Structure 1
Amino acid sequence: MKYNFTLDYFQKSADYILSKIDEKPEIALILGSALGGLSEEIENPVVIDYKDIPNFLVSTVKSHAGKLIIGKLHGKTVVCMSGRFHYYEGYDFEQLVIPIRVFKLIGCKATILTNAAGAINTDFNVGDIMIIKDHIKLMGASPLRGPNVEELGPRFFDVTDMYTKELRELAKNCAAKLDMKLQEGVYYYHMGPNFETPAEIRAMRTLGADAVGMSTVTEALTAAHCGMKLLGLSLMTNMAAGVLDQPVDGDEVSETGERVAKDFRALLAEIVKAL
């Protein structure tokens, strides 16, 4: 077994972070591609480079800042990852448990995951925000593979309510206050870094997927193992391959993110206030 993680391994990361802050965070935020701007709204931020945290990982994606930001956001103490880690960067699935487990150890009770995704459902539009109600992951190892860390969760665990229904309803109520329309659907996990083929997108649609992306699922599974409440939000930055008669362009992800960033931040603000 390549990884033999113990509680002490994650505790070293947690202890380093706790030594830098005065108040434990309640909520963890992991921001996806083109959505990192929310971190600028955190008050009195303590900023820690990933590379400085013992036993942590380092983001290699140019659009991801690679910093941990801890402070107040709309009255709540939060820890925010501006940039996340992906399998396509070269990490093993088992390594991708690290951030969520560390957040559990520093006090977080809930996690909000955001991502940029391609719309598979033809009723969706670019710019829509989708609440994740479930996901499909048919490839690769579980991030929980290997020796179980009993202090963090059981060997075998239920994922029926992984994307916590209570938080999904809360997000809908917050969107209604803002007169925003939200979609709700199933997120399909694709390993990347290439975008999917049109044939793969057709297969995903047949399987019941509404959107596809290259992140989130490993974090969600780890949160479920840790017993953390979880909300997942996907921004439809493009229509998936083959939906439109045009190639998928990575620049469109950033452009769409910038266009809807204000509305997305407003929604997240309402959700954080309500938690």
Structure 2
Amino acid sequence: MSDLLQQIAAAAEFIRKSWSGTPEVGIILGSGLGNLTSDITDSVEIPYEQIPHFPSSSVEGHKGRLILGNMNGRPVVAMAGRFHFYEGLSMQQVTFPVRVMKALGVHTLLVSNAAGGMNKAFNVGDLMIIRDHINLQPEHPLRGPNNNTLGPRFPDMSEPYSKALIAKAKEIAAANSIPVHTGVYVGVQGPTFETRAEYMYMHIIGGDAVGMSTVPEVIVAIHSGMKVFAMSVITDIGIREEENVITHEEVLEAANAAEPKLTLIFRELIKVI
């Protein structure tokens, strides 16, 4: 057994000792979007630092714990806080929790993030369902020898975000009078926010929103055979002409304000998956 397989097995075994359920849905919550976990009942919370081979989250707005329990009658596992390449972690570390989710039984992954808007039709606080992505991160999570136990050497990425889940999410949003956009998410390394020229470049190549996460986790989820749904909260608009100084505090504030709408969509989506 490879080192990675041994690490996955050790983490999953530790988690199973704390919670006996088999999660069907995995949830990754981005900056300022951690309150969905309050909807998880009969829950068990495990700090990341207690789980074998898990990194620790060092970013403000990321709580750093794994929460297992039930939501709308479905067994779920949620990450309140994620990992980023810019923290100095390897891509294997960044995506390790997705591998562990798969080992625990997860078949569908829901992902949220805070993102900068590059579409002039967007406003701060809007929600964008991710229909596709552009990977501009400097390292790939599948680089290196492939273990066929985990997934194929050359996974198909023609539908990284499930069209069926996107359609269901749109129905939920419409039924609850929640406006949503759909668009392309550009994944970058960070931790700097983008320059005006970078925003313009990424919009020209097809991006509607940009952020420093999500793409690595989605790639590994697809490699593992999961279905994926992802949504961005637009926390700033970087493509407009006026002055647009961006701070992490403002990102968190905008994410917190939009969170109830995103939470409702996630909660109802879990019910019908």
Shorter-chain TM-score tier: over 0.9
Selected match of 2:256 from 255, 258, 261: 258
Paired position in structure 2 for 1:225: 223
Q: Deviations over 1:8-56 (max 9, x none)?
A: 2211111111111121111000000010011112111100010010111
Selected match of 1:69 from 67, 70, 79: 67
CA distance in 2, matches of 1:189, 1:138: 6
Preserved contact between residue 120 and residue 239 of structure 1 (Cα < 8 Å) = yes
Paired position in structure 2 for 1:40: 38
Q: Is 1:22 aligned to 2:9, yes or no?
A: no
Paired position in structure 2 for 1:127: 125
Preserved contact between residue 30 and residue 82 of structure 2 (Cα < 8 Å) = yes
CA distance in 2, matches of 1:262, 1:63: 16
TM (normalized to structure 2)? 0.96
Q: Deviations over 1:183-231 (max 9, x none)?
A: 0000011211110000001100110100000100000000010010000
Paired position in structure 2 for 1:147: 145
**Letter matched to residue 236 of structure 1:** I
Preserved contact between residue 14 and residue 102 of structure 1 (Cα < 8 Å) = yes
Alignment of 1:53-64 (within 5 A): 53-64=51-62
Q: Report the CA distance shift for 1:98/1:73 in structure 2 as closer, same or farther (over 3 A).
A: same
Paired position in structure 2 for 1:89: 87
Paired position in structure 2 for 1:202: 200
**Letter matched to residue 157 of structure 1:** P
Preserved contact between residue 9 and residue 55 of structure 1 (Cα < 8 Å) = yes
Paired position in structure 1 for 2:29: 31
Preserved contact between residue 5 and residue 147 of structure 1 (Cα < 8 Å) = no
Alignment of 1:167-186 (within 5 A): 167-186=165-184
Preserved contact between residue 124 and residue 236 of structure 2 (Cα < 8 Å) = yes
Cα drift, residue 258 of structure 1 = 2.0
Preserved contact between residue 120 and residue 240 of structure 2 (Cα < 8 Å) = no
CA distance in 1, matches of 2:215, 2:244: 28
Paired position in structure 2 for 1:8: 6
CA distance in 1, matches of 2:243, 2:56: 36
CA distance in 2, matches of 1:78, 1:274: 14
Structure 1 residue ranges (4+ consecutive) displaced by more than 6 angstroms after TM superposition: none
CA distance in 2, matches of 1:92, 1:103: 18
Identity of aligned residues (%): 41
Preserved contact between residue 185 and residue 211 of structure 1 (Cα < 8 Å) = yes
Bigger shift: 17-26 or 204-213?
17-26
Preserved contact between residue 62 and residue 81 of structure 2 (Cα < 8 Å) = yes
Structure 2: stretches of 5+ with no match in the other structure: none
Cα drift, residue 243 of structure 1 = 4.9
Cα drift, residue 5 of structure 1 = 4.1
CA distance in 1, matches of 2:118, 2:32: 20
Paired position in structure 2 for 1:115: 113
Q: Report the CA distance shift for 1:47/1:243 in structure 2 as closer, same or farther (over 3 A).
A: farther
**Letter matched to residue 102 of structure 1:** V
Aligned length: 272
**Letter matched to residue 7 of structure 2:** Y
Three-state SS of the structure 1 residue aligned to 2:18 is: coil
CA distance in 2, matches of 1:266, 1:36: 13
Give the aligned CA root-mean-square deviation in angstroms.
1.3
Structure 1: stretches of 5+ with no match in the other structure: none
Cα drift, residue 242 of structure 1 = 5.0
Preserved contact between residue 95 and residue 143 of structure 1 (Cα < 8 Å) = no
Q: Report the CA distance shift for 1:24/1:248 in structure 2 as closer, same or farther (over 3 A).
A: same
Three-state SS of the structure 2 residue aligned to 1:185 is: strand
Paired position in structure 2 for 1:245: 243
Preserved contact between residue 6 and residue 149 of structure 1 (Cα < 8 Å) = no
